[in-house]
């Protein structure tokens, strides 16, 4: 993971433009999840309006945090706390700066179609066969996967957590809904699937997945002194869950381009964007 971080950031160093050489380069790291893609693309375009050259690089969650902590990246707006990425924050909090939430009311847990008779994680103790004894997950290093493993143990469930990706998880969900079959997937809000399908979270009486989450902005040490305007924009950067989920859903349409989706959102929310730039 560290090797990938270094190789990507070496590319940054070898492609400096005149603007970057003059101290106008900003490097944004993010996890390649739909919400992070939408938020990072918006921020990139906003910073470009102010004359910055912005480099963005997708990394695994651990590498993203490490890149900001080492100063290889300037910032990320994809840090999930207090549960999902708590391990990374606890390890690196003294080597970076946490600016606080850019999205509030976020959530992680297990998600089922709205028509599912399942209502609680505890239901799977006796009804696991109805979902083929599986919980469909994403990449194994994700925080929601670690919490899912803990949930299986905490509730003593006869289910298997299936590794995959965001794409394979949502494909399994789409197929199950189309066939009117039950399925349990790892989920989080904001996510475009909530804008497209009728879904619900299974209740979590043991609170293994925690309470409400937030998506946070983290920056490297020294950014405030080196790039004070960028620091101020990052501190003010905020998005609503509904807006983000709508953008994510648009990005899932055939032929959609995140850059175009972000540009349309910025044009339609000019007052919000201008408030970040004051």
**For 188-247, what is each residue's pLDDT tens digit?**
999 999 989 999 999 999 999 988 899 999 999 999 999 999 999 999 999 999 889 889
- Chain centroid, CA 195 distance in Å: 16
Bridge partners for 75 per DSSP: 28, 219
pLDDT at 36: 93
Name the residue with tokens 């994809």. Answer: 78
CATH (one of 3.40.309.10, 3.40.50.300, 3.30.160.250, 3.40.190.100) for 107-201: 3.40.190.100
In this prediction, residues 109-116 reach a mean pLDDT of 98
Say if residue 10's pLDDT is above 90: no
Verify cis geometry, omega within 30 degrees of 0, for the bond prior to 190.
yes
CATH 3.40.190.10 for domain 26-106+212-277: yes
- Give the pLDDT band (50/70/90) at residue 142: confident
What does the pLDDT read at residue 195?
85
Q: How far apart are CA 189 and CA 214, in angstroms?
A: 9
pLDDT at res. 113:
98
Q: What is the pLDDT of residues 87-99, one digit of tens each?
A: 999 999 999 999 9
Angle, helices 258-268 vs 270-277, to 10°: value is: 90
**Residue 146 confidence class, pLDDT cut points 50, 70, 90:** very high
Q: What is the pLDDT of residues 67-79, one digit of tens each?
A: 999 999 999 999 9
Question: Does the pLDDT of residue 18 top 70, yes or no?
Answer: no
The fraction of the chain above a pLDDT of 90, given in percent, is 80
134: Cβ–Cβ under 8 A, 6 or more apart, which residues? 159, 160, 161, 162, 184
Strand-pairing partners, residue 83, are none
Q: Mean of the pLDDT values across residues 254-275?
A: 95
How much of the chain exceeds pLDDT 70, in percent?
92
Q: How far apart are CA 121 and CA 208, in angstroms?
A: 10
**Residues 35, 103: Cα–Cα separation, whole Å:** 10
pLDDT at 65: 98
CA dihedral (34, 37, 40, 41) positive or negative: negative
Task: Mention every residue, 6+ apart, whose C-beta is less than 8 A from residue 166.
Answer: 33, 34, 138, 139
SS3 170: helix
- Is the confidence at residue 262, as pLDDT, over 60? yes
Residues 246-262: b if buried by 16+ CB within 10 A, e if exposed: bbbbbbeeeeeebeebb
Q: Do 107-201 and 26-106+212-277 fall under one CATH topology?
A: yes
Binning pLDDT at 50, 70 and 90, where does residue 23 land? Answer: low
Tokens 């730039």 -> residue: 277
Give the residue, 49 or 143, on which the prediction is more confident.
Answer: 49
Among the residue ranges 10-19, 42-51, 257-266, the one predicted with the least confidence is 10-19
What is the arithmetic mean of pLDDT over 50-68? Answer: 96
Mean pLDDT of 174-181: 97
| Count of beta carbons in the 10 Å neighbourhood of residue 176 | 19
- Stretch 137-158: mean pLDDT: 94
Q: Are 122 and 208 in contact (CB under 8 A)?
A: no
For the chain, give the mean pLDDT. Answer: 91
Residue 241 has phi, psi (to 5 degrees) of: -60, -45
CB contact at 8 A, 195 and 246: yes
For the chain, the structural domain boundaries read: 26-106+212-277, 107-201
């Amino acid at each position: 993971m560290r090797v990938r971080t270094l190789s990507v950031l070496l590319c940054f160093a070898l492609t400096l433009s005149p603007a970057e050489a003059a101290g106008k380069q900003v490097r944004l790291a993010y996890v390649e999840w739909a919400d992070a893609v939408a938020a990072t693309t918006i921020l990139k375009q906003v910073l470009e309006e102010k004359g910055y050259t912005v480099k963005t690089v997708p990394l695994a969650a651990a590498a993203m945090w490490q890149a900001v902590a080492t100063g290889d990246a300037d910032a990320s707006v994809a840090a999930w706390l207090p549960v999902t990425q708590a391990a990374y924050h606890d390890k690196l909090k003294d080597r970076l700066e946490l600016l606080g939430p850019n999205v509030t009311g976020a959530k992680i847990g297990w998600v089922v179609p709205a028509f599912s008779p399942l209502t609680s994680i505890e239901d799977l103790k006796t009804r696991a066969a109805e979902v083929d004894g599986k919980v469909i997950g994403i990449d194994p290093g994700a925080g929601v996967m670690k919490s899912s493993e803990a949930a299986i143990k905490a509730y003593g469930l006869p289910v298997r957590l299936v590794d995959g990706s965001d794409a394979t998880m949502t494909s399994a969900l789409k197929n199950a809904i189309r066939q009117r079959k039950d399925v349990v997937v790892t989920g989080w809000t904001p996510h475009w699937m909530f804008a497209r399908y009728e879904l619900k979270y299974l209740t979590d009486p043991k609170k293994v997945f925690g309470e409400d989450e937030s998506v946070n902005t983290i920056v490297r040490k020294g950014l405030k002194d080196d790039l004070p305007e960028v620091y101020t924009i990052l501190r003010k950067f905020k998005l609503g869950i509904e807006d983000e989920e709508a953008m994510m859903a648009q990005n899932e349409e055939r032929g959609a381009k995140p850059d175009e989706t972000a540009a349309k959102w910025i044009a339609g929310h000019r007052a919000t964007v201008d408030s970040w730039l004051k």
